[in-house]
């Protein structure tokens, strides 16, 4: 038994090397060589890099699907069809943002400052127009500039995906919300599309760099609600929208749990 487990670990380790190898080589070589023509030939270089990200991540998941056949993907077509949307998601794994990038050719998000400090990767993210959540970027005039560019991005058909919990859930439950997500949607005068993600933590759990390849798993992404708040209403309140969003996610989790009581949420 220990012998089999040893070989399973070796197998997982090799898969990890292949997948993260592809991921990094993509950034280092493929994107680097494609970036220069994009930068020179296109008017909107951020948009072009977003498309390159999208293609790169699409291939990454294609490769993941081939190498880890026990994990299947069930993506709601309504999610794929979203455009000019603020997409609010629960957060389970580092795979969540990557999966979202693989679905949308034009996408942006707000991410932790630490990701921008990663060599090459951080530089590409900045060039793609992604926004750092660091205080220097999300205060004062810099924040107004970022919000205005997000507004323009949404008007041009791009999506903004956000994780109001700010960090990955360790037990599948919804953590405390940062209401800034809702303020940004309001600033852009855009509705909210709530997308529920399941199963990414089973494939790539928090706290591990190995993919779990042996377990049968289905990664799902489902549009569970679309909220169109009346921002101009006299009694409009960000807190009400944040609470409503939270309730919808909690109800979804309860429904999933009720349908399959043995499932670890």
Partner 1 sequence: MTRQDIENEVRDIFLREFEVENPELDVNLREAYGFDSIDAIDLLLEIEKFLGSELTRDEKKQAMDIRTMRQIIDYIEMLAEKRHAAQG
Is 41 or 141 the residue whose CB approaches partner 1 more closely?
141
Report yes or no: 158 and 106 within 8 Å, Cβ to Cβ. yes
Please name every residue paired with 87 in a beta bridge, in sequence order, or none if there are none.
161, 193
- Note whether 41 binds partner 1 by CB under 8 A: no
To partner 1, the closest distance from the beta carbon of 89 in angstroms equals 19
| Contacts of 240 by beta carbon, 8 Å cutoff, 6+ apart | none
The two beta strands, 217-227 and 192-198, are antiparallel
Query: Which DSSP letter does residue 209 get?
Result: S
CA distance 98 to 23: 10
To partner 1, the closest distance from the beta carbon of 179 in angstroms equals 7
Is 117 or 139 the residue whose CB approaches partner 1 more closely?
139
Is 73 or 231 the residue whose CB approaches partner 1 more closely?
231
Tokens of 110: 């707000």
Is 127 or 151 the residue whose CB approaches partner 1 more closely?
151
- Note whether 113 binds partner 1 by CB under 8 A: no
Site residues for partner 1, 188-227, by CB under 8 A, read: none
- Note whether 238 binds partner 1 by CB under 8 A: yes
How far, rounded to the nearest angstrom, does the alpha carbon of residue 183 sit from its chain's CA centroid? 19
How far, rounded to the nearest angstrom, does the alpha carbon of residue 216 sit from its chain's CA centroid? 22
Q: Which position among 179, 212, 246, 257 is part of the footprint of partner 1 (CB under 8 A)?
A: 179
SS3 content of the chain, % helix, strand, coil (to 5): 50, 15, 35
Instruction: Write each residue from 117 to 146 as x if it is in contact with partner 1 (CB under 8 A), else as -, in one continuous string.
Output: ---------------------xxxx-xx--
Is 15 or 162 the residue whose CB approaches partner 1 more closely?
162
Residues that bind partner 1 (CB under 8 A): 138-141, 143-144, 147-148, 179-180, 183-184, 186-187, 231-232, 234-235, 237-239
């Amino acid at each position: 038994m220990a012998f089999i487990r040893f070989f399973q670990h070796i197998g997982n380790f090799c898969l990890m090397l292949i997948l993260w190898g592809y991921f990094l080589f993509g950034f280092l070589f493929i994107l680097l060589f494609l970036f220069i023509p994009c930068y020179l030939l296109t008017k909107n270089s951020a948009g072009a890099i977003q498309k390159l990200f999208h293609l790169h991540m699409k291939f990454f998941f294609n490769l993941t699907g081939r190498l880890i056949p026990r994990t299947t993907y069930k993506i709601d077509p309504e999610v794929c069809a979203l455009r000019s949307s603020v997409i609010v998601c629960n957060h389970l794994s580092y795979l969540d943002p990557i999966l979202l990038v693989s679905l949308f050719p034009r996408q942006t998000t707000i991410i932790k400052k630490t990701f921008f400090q990663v060599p090459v990767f951080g530089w590409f993210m900045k060039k793609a127009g992604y926004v750092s959540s660091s205080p220097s970027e999300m205060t004062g005039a810099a924040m107004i500039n970022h919000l205005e560019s997000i507004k323009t991005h949404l008007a041009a058909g791009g999506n903004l995906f956000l994780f109001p919990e700010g960090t990955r859930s360790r037990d599948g439950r919804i953590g405390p919300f940062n209401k800034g997500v809702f303020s940004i949607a309001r600033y852009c005068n855009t509705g909210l599309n709530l997308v529920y993600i399941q199963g990414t933590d089973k494939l790539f759990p928090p706290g591990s760099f190995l993919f779990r390849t042996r377990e049968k798993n289905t990664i799902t992404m489902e549009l569970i609600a679309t909220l169109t708040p009346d921002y101009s209403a006299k009694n409009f309140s960000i807190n009400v929208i944040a609470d409503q969003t939270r309730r919808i996610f909690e109800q979804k989790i309860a429904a999933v749990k009720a349908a399959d009581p043995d499932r670890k949420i």
